[in-house]
């Protein structure tokens, strides 16, 4: 179905691996305007196509690969695309966003996305060469790692799973080039379908509605990113691990399975040390001026370097300070196709189980000699690896330790200690796909690591700030940008002013007490926000690229609408307010080094969060909220019953 909007190719592939049928899936322009692309357009398709209660690893699940209107347009940091399905790890809405070259190449082949149904009778990969789409045998590449698999499929935009996906490890990833779709187990869904990988190529031109103005916006936007202290200096110089030592100093660095927030050897695994001793050069996704990627040398070979999450979760969280070992594990995990965040949590939880005499898996805090072997065992489901491959929630249900099992809705917690950042903790508890720092709103930047911050333990201010962040970051992702482009929302002058302690304290006081204004902003109808925010040019770029009526108000509403639809999907699966919580480690245990207030008071914050979102006391969106957001196609009786 063609579109009246530019930025889109106007077609979505619809394939059934069980029957070999290949066709197109109709997407209306109304849905393009309401959901833009990526995770939200995918969630709408999942809502329409999936029956509640299906097994995520059965042929009934669908795998959706979806680009966005800015993907491949040359706008800053727009190689992004999304992979979605019902998650085998959580049973909730699953989605994972990444860079790599596949999304751009898929659009160049003339397609906005792909829907993959059923299960092939034998291993296959899909080849998309413009309008020529074929299902090819993957028998010869089944068993290969993610890099060798991509190379074997040929030249083009590629993505593939490794042994972990083939063996349906619940947190298996999908890899494009060296970029990973890490969270929620999309690699396991591919493996369940006997789908090894996909390659796309083509020569289609992505249409831009107002080419002259769009180019001008892109030039100005790129210059702003390159001149900003966060995106033009800190991230390129030290990568995503730029904040590691600051988080430790702020008692927010997960240490020893999140039992502490500070690590004595933080400097040894920091982004600064990585840059000084191991960095060969910077790298980055297509059209990204930030270049936060690390290229390091290992065994005489240049490879992708580690991100913050693995440096923490397989460093401080395991009480391991060997940076070279973490570099090696990062490389091994990418080849095997496993999520570094979940693996770090799984090993940390297993180590604490071992320490408490509850289960001896061979994993111990501070022990690094057997880690590589354990990673292989997980990927191939051998020995203790068969249990570890199921994730933290499964382990806690089998061996005990639910109070210190760091997950929400089955998704392991990202690498930030929420007791030092209670707004970030609220984000973890309410994020649609589970304990995600990005879907949750990344309030840690406004509570601990940013140049100016909120009071991290002030309760009344947090629900509004969390919702604002969640909506904006979600809209940025749906539009096709990397979320790091949001860092410019904090103006450059803040980095200068924060050097003066009294000024920083005054700003913290003012930001914290601004919560009534933030709450009020969330209630302002889009019709009163027909403008673009200079520090967030995303809405302007989408308008110029597509021809949509897009402004800051409508852009924010996209995030709110999509977030609510994800909530509806989870409710239909029986995942509701009871899951909007954190383990007792974070809600009941005082963080060492902090005062009595250093727990996350989820129960105190949730009622206001629900109210501001237009949900009832049970966390179910009200009918008037559904109507306001254009989601009144939803049958609310299904939400209360859950899957049958």
8-state DSSP, 280:
E
- Quick one: which H or E segment has residue 516? helix 515-522
Instruction: Tokens for 21, please give them.
Output: 């049928």
pLDDT value, residue 342:
98
- DSSP 3-state of 615: strand
- DSSP 3-state of 152: helix
Domains and CATH numbers, the chain: 12-201 (3.60.9.10), 239-417 (1.10.569.10)
Average pLDDT, the chain: 95
426-435: pLDDT as tens digits: 999 999 999 9
- Residues in the chain where the model's pLDDT stays below 50: 644
pLDDT value, residue 53:
97
Q: Give the N- to C-terminal CA distance of the chain in Å, as an integer.
A: 34
Spatial CA neighbour of 72 closest among 47, 44, 42, 37: 37
Query: Which distant-in-sequence residues (6+ apart) come within 8 Å of 112 by Cβ?
Result: 8, 9, 10, 11, 12, 27, 37, 66, 67, 106
pLDDT value, residue 644:
36
**For residue 85, which phi and psi values (nearest 5 degrees)?**
-175, 170
pLDDT value, residue 640:
58
Decide if 383 contacts 235 (C-beta within 8 A): no
List of E strands, 31-147: 63-66, 81-86, 93-98, 113-117, 124-129, 132-137
């Amino acid at each position: 179905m063609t579109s009246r909007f530019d930025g889109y190719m106007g077609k979505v592939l619809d394939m059934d691996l069980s029957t070999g049928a290949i066709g197109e899936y109709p997407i209306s322009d109304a849905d393009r305007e309401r959901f833009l692309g990526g995770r939200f357009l995918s969630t709408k398709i999942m809502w329409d196509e999936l029956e509640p209660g299906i097994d995520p690893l059965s042929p009934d699940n669908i795998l959706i690969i979806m680009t966005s209107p800015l993907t491949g347009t040359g706008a800053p940091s727009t190689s992004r695309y999304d992979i979605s399905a019902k998650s085998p790890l959580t049973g909730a809405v699953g989605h994972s966003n990444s860079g790599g070259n596949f999304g751009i190449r898929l659009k160049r082949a003339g397609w906005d996305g792909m829907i993959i149904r059923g299960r092939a009778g034998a291993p296959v990969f899909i080849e998309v060469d413009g309008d020529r789409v074929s299902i090819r045998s993957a028998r010869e590449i089944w068993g290969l790692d993610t890099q060798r698999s991509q190379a074997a499929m040929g030249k083009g935009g590629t993505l593939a799973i490794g042994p972990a996906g083939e063996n349906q490890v619940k947190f298996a990833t999908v890899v494009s080039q060296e970029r990973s779709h890490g969270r929620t187990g999309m690699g396991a869904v591919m493996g369940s379908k006997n789908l090894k990988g996909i390659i796309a190529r083509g020569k289609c031109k992505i249409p831009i509605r107002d080419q002259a103005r769009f180019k001008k916006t892109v030039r100005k936007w790129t210059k702003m990113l390159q001149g900003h202290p966060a995106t033009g200096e800190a991230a390129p110089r030290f990568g995503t691990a730029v904040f590691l030592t600051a988080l430790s100093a702020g008692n927010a660095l997960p240490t020893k399975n999140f039992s502490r927030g500070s690590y004595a050897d933080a400097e040894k695994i920091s982004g600064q040390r990585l840059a000084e001793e191991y960095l060969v050069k910077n790298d980055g996704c297509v059209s990204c001026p930030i270049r936060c990627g690390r290229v390091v040398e290992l065994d005489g070979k240049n490879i992708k370097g580690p991100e913050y999450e693995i440096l923490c979760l397989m460093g401080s969280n395991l009480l391991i300070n060997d940076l070279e070992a973490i570099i090696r594990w990062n490389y091994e995990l990418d080849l095997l196709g496993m999520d570094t965040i979940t693996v770090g949590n799984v090993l940390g939880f297993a180590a604490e189980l071992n320490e408490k005499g509850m289960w001896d898996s061979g994993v111990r805090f501070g022990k690094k000699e057997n880690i590589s072997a354990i990673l292989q065992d997980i990927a191939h489901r051998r020995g203790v690896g068969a249990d570890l491959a199921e994730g933290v929630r499964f382990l806690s249900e089998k061996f005990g330790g639910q109070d210190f099992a760091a997950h929400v809705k089955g998704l392991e917690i990202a690498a930030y200690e929420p007791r030092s950042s209670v707004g970030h903790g609220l984000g973890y508890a309410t994020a649609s796909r589970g304990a995600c720092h990005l879907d949750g709103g990344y309030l840690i930047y406004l509570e601990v690591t940013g140049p100016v911050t909120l009071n991290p333990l002030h309760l009344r201010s947090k629900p509004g700030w969390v919702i604002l962040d969640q909506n904006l970051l979600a809209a940025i992702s749906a539009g096709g940008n990397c979320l790091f482009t949001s860092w410019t929302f904090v103006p450059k002058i803040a980095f200068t002013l924060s050097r003066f302690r009294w000024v920083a304290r005054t700003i913290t006081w003012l930001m914290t007490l601004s919560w009534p204004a933030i709450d009020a902003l969330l209630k302002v109808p889009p019709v009163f926000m027909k403008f673009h925010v200079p520090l967030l040019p995303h809405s302007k770029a989408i308008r110029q690229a597509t021809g949509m009526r897009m402004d800051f108000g409508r852009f924010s509403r996209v995030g709110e609408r999509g977030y609510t639809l994800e909530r509806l999907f989870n409710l239909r699966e029986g995942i509701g307010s009871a899951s909007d919580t954190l383990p007792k480690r974070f809600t009941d245990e005082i963080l060492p080094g902090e005062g009595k207030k250093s727990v996350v008071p989820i129960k105190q914050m949730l009622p206001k969060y629900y109210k501001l979102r237009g949900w009832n006391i049970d966390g179910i969106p009200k009918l008037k909220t559904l109507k306001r957001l254009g989601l009144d196609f939803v049958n609310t009786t299904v939400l209360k019953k859950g899957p049958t």
